[in-house]
Structures are given as structure tokens and as C-alpha cells.
């Protein structure tokens, strides 16, 4: 029998890689997408299958995690073997601006899905994956962070995800649901949303390299993160649901670098050597040397990165470093893509976009582009 998976957040970074992965494994994949005034399926367009095709294995349903009756209907229709709850208002800084909405989607949305499973009598059939996060550790109380490290959320996003974490544990204990929390540390890719810092950096520097922009404005350059590749992490999401019994796992690389170092690394991919000067809100990065032909618009002496305190958060998560040894020990999982390879891939993809945009601009087309976040 072909297994059926339901993915919330299928149009996001992880949803798109997970859909790809499950389709390759022979699953029938159902995804929930939100109604939008413009197409919002760019990340999964390459997986599109004609709904008139009898062999269609990817099906999309309109829905929203704030709408319980809609979730119950979809769950009843699909009767999934596996549910991956990836949908969320996932931007930490935005959660300070929309805290109530973030709680509604990220915390209560998870409860609505779990209730749908329970009310429909699917508790013994549908396995459940919850996209938990290293942001739960916020103000870190132990280094590195592992499954037993106490939580201390530092944003409305993290507080909402804390509820989602515990309600997942509770449904496992109360109703015997096979439910797992993947406590995933930051993971990135060329499909990362443009307002998360890694992608903001690779996209921003490529635009500068091609003369489409002059300066990239960032927030806290001292923040330290344990960055992995989304492809490695979605593999782990599937693995968690294939065990004899459910459990919660930290997924991380076990290495951390600062935002400043990621800027440096990305610039070097473009042949740009940077020097950082100043501190706090006045810090800047100056071009020292340019080699190769990827950054024709940049010359030594240019200031191409500035700190803008607008991007500081009311409460910051300064440092995150995960210990993935439980996942390695019990599931045999290891990340395969290094930070260097990932950075190189992201810069290469964003350089192609910038080169295309530069060509269009040269022919008089306007390039709409805003990178607030
Ligand atoms: P993205 O922001 O790329 O994707 C989020 C997805 O959720 C999108 O498909 C979005 O739809 C959808 N969504 C947002 N609000 C709603 C809603 N109200 N109802 C239904 N769908 C909604 O996130 P990622 O793919 O990076 O992350 C996946 C999950 O993992 C998230 O829950 C995130 O919080 C969590 N996580 C992510 C980590 C990371 O480093 N990437 C680390 C740890 C946890 P649309 O496309 O229409 O906006
Ligand atoms: P994060 O990711 O908050 O860790 O949440 P993000 O990339 O937004 O920030 C990482 C760190 O970089 C600092 N930073 C900036 N961040 C943004 N977005 N823009 C900037 O200009 C900037 N300058 C510095 C931030 O302050 C922060 O310290 C991500 C999301 O995917 C969550 O959904 C997920 O749960 C966690 O990762 C794990």
C-alpha cells in the first residue's frame, strides 16, 4: 500500500524539500497551502502534477492552521499515515510585531491538528511530526544544548513553539499518539526565505556584486548559530516517524559560527575580502580586495555592509549550539552537507538571480526588491 503523508507548510523551505523526498520514496503527498492573491507555490512548482492525471501523487488543499473545521475536513479526506506539521509564522523578529497571530498559528494551530487526529479516531493510524526549534533554548542554560537542556524562550515565536512542543508530548502520553518533536537548529538552503539572515546575506551580497544595490544592512553580527542544510534536516524528519516508538530529538551539526563570519564566508565566495571596523550599531564591513569576475561592481574601499539597529531584537538569542548525539546514536543520522558547501551553493544560486536581474535592468525592466527583515 502506498503511504500517505500530509504536510502543512508545504510551500515553505522545509515543506518543499520534504515533499520532494517523500515523492521519491513513493509516497502520496498531500499539502496544505494558503489562499493568496498571487501564486505562492514557487518552491514546489517543479513537483506540480496535473490534477487530471489518475497517477497524481502530489495533491494540494487550501487551508490554514487558524481554521479548525478546515483542518478536520482535510484530515478526514486524506486519512494520512504521517502528518508533518511544518506550517508556522516562522520569523522570530516578525513575532514581536504579530505576537497574537504567531501564537494562534504556531501554538493553537498545532493543537488544532492534534485534535483533528484525535476526534477523527486517527490516533492509532496517523503519526505526527512537530517542527520544534532550538529557539526553545533562547537564553541558553547549558552548552551545547541537548534534549534534556531546560527551555527559556526569548520571543513570542519561541513561547508559541514551547506550547506546541508540550502539547505534542501531552497527546503522545494522553492518547498514545505516535508524536515526535524534532528540535531543529537553524537550517538553510537556496530556498530559504529572503528575510532570514543567511539568505539575506547571500542575496544582498550578490546584488551588490552585480551593481543592483550598494549596501547590505544587518542587525546583530555577534549572534552565533549552528547552521545546517535543510535537505539533511528533512531526511531526519522522516526518519523520526519510522521508529518503533516516538521520541524527541535535537537535530544540529554541533558547530557554530557568527553572523559576521557568515558574511565573510559569503563575500569570499564572490572573491571579495572584507575587513570589519567599528562596533555595535556603528560597525561596517569594508572591501579590502576583489578577485575573479563575480563582483564586477565592487572595488576596494567600498563599504558594503552596515549595522542598522532597526534589526536588533527586543530580546536576542545570542548563541545556539546543538548536540545531536542522540539522533546519531539512536537513528544513525549524520548531516552530510557542510556549512562551506551550503554557503557556496546559496551564493551560486543567488548570483544567477542577480545576473538575470542585472540583465533585465539593463534592458529597462524594473526589479522589484525589498529585503526588510
Ligand atoms: P518557512 O517560513 O519557509 O515556511 C513556513 C510555511 O508555513 C509556509 O508554507 C507558509 O505558507 C506556511 N504557513 C504560515 N502560516 C500559515 C498558516 N496560518 N496556515 C497554514 N500555513 C501557514 O519555514 P521553514 O520551512 O524554514 O520551517 C518549517 C518549520 O520548521 C516552521 O514551523 C519553523 O518554525 C520550523 N523551524 C525552522 C527552522 C529553520 O531553521 N528553518 C529551525 C527550527 C524550526 P506561505 O508559503 O503561504 O507563507
Ligand atoms: P532565527 O533566524 O531568528 O535564528 O530563527 P534569523 O536568520 O532570522 O536570525 C539569525 C540571527 O541573525 C541575527 N541577525 C539578523 N537576522 C535577520 N533576520 N535579519 C538581519 O538583518 C539580521 N542581522 C543579524 C538575528 O538577530 C539572529 O540572532 C530561525 C527561523 O527559521 C526560526 O523559525 C527557527 O525556529 C530558528 O531559526 C531555529
Q: What is the pLDDT of residue 367?
A: 81
Per residue in 291-334, pLDDT (tens digit) is 999 999 999 999 999 999 999 999 999 999 999 999 999 999 99
The alpha carbon of 238 and the centre of ligand 2 are apart by a number of angstroms equal to 25
Pocket lining for ligand 2, CB < 6 angstroms: 90, 92-93, 133-135, 185-186, 195-197, 200, 218-220, 223, 225, 259, 311, 313, 316-317, 373
Q: What's the whole-number mean pLDDT along residues 1-21?
A: 97
- Residue pair 168/179 in contact (Cβ under 8 Å)? The answer is yes
Residue with grid cell 580586495, as numbered in its chain? 289
The alpha carbon of 129 and the centre of ligand 1 are apart by a number of angstroms equal to 14
Number of the ligand closest to the Cα of 145: 2
Q: What is the pLDDT of residue 187?
A: 98
Please give the model's pTM, rounded to 2 decimal places.
Answer: 0.98
Q: What is the pLDDT of residue 55?
A: 86
Return the SS3 of 117.
Answer: helix
Residue 186: how many other CB atoms lie within 10 Å: 22
Active site positions, annotated: 133, 135, 157
Q: What is the mean pLDDT of the chain?
A: 97
- What confidence tier does 53 reach under pLDDT thresholds 50, 70, 90? confident
- Residue pair 135/154 in contact (Cβ under 8 Å)? The answer is yes
The sign of the dihedral angle between the CA atoms of 98, 102, 103, 108 is: positive
Amino acid at each position: 500500500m502506498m503511504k500517505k503523508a500530509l504536510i502543512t507548510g508545504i510551500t515553505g523551505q522545509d515543506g518543499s524539500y520534504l515533499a520532494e523526498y517523500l515523492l521519491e520514496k513513493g509516497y502520496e503527498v498531500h499539502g496544505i497551502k494558503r489562499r493568496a492573491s498571487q501564486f505562492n507555490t514557487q518552491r514546489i512548482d517543479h513537483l506540480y502534477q496535473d490534477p487530471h492525471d489518475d497517477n497524481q501523487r502530489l495533491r494540494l488543499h487550501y487551508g490554514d492552521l487558524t481554521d479548525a473545521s478546515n483542518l478536520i475536513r482535510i484530515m478526514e479526506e486524506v486519512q494520512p499515515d504521517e502528518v508533518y506539521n511544518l506550517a508556522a509564522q516562522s520569523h522570530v523578529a516578525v513575532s514581536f510585531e504579530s505576537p497574537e497571530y504567531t501564537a494562534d498559528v504556531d501554538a493553537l494551530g498545532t493543537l488544532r491538528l492534534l485534535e483533528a487526529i484525535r476526534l477523527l479516531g486517527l490516533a492509532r493510524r496517523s503519526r505526527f511530526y512537530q517542527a520544534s526549534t532550538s529557539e526553545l533554548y533562547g537564553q541558553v542554560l547549558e552548552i551545547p544544548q541537548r534534549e534534556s537542556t531546560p527551555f527559556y524562550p526569548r520571543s513570542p515565536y519561541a513561547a508559541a513553539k514551547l506550547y506546541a512542543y508540550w502539547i505534542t508530548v501531552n497527546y503522545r502520553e494522553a492518547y498514545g499518539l505516535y508524536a515526535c518533536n524534532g528540535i531543529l537548529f537553524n537550517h538553510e538552503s537556496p530556498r530559504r526565505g529572503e528575510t532570514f539572515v543567511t539568505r539575506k546575506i547571500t542575496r544582498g551580497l550578490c546584488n551588490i556584486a552585480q551593481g543592483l544595490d550598494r549596501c547590505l544592512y544587518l542587525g546583530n553580527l555577534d549572534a552565533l548559530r549552528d547552521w545546517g542544510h535543510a535537505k539533511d534536516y528533512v531526511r531526519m524528519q522522516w526518519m523520526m516517524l519510522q521508529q518503533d516508538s516516538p521520541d524527541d530529538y535535537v537535530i544540529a551539526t554541533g558547530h557554530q559560527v557568527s553572523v559576521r563570519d557568515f558574511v565573510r564566508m559569503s563575500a569570499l565566495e564572490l572573491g571579495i575580502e572584507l575587513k570589519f571596523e567599528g562596533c555595535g550599531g556603528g560597525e561596517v564591513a569594508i572591501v579590502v580586495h576583489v578577485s575573479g569576475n563575480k563582483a564586477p561592481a565592487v572595488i576596494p574601499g567600498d563599504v558594503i555592509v552596515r549595522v542598522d539597529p532597526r534589526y536588533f531584537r527586543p530580546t536576542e538569542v545570542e548563541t545556539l549550539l546543538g548536540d545531536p548525539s542522540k539522533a546519531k546514536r539512536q537513528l544513525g543520522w549524520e548531516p552530510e552537507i557542510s556549512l562551506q558547501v551550503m554557503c557556496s551553493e546559496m551564493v551560486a544560486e543567488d548570483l544567477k538571480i542577480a545576473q538575470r536581474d542585472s540583465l533585465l535592468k539593463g534592458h529597462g525592466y524594473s526589479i522589484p526588491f525589498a529585503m526588510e527583515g
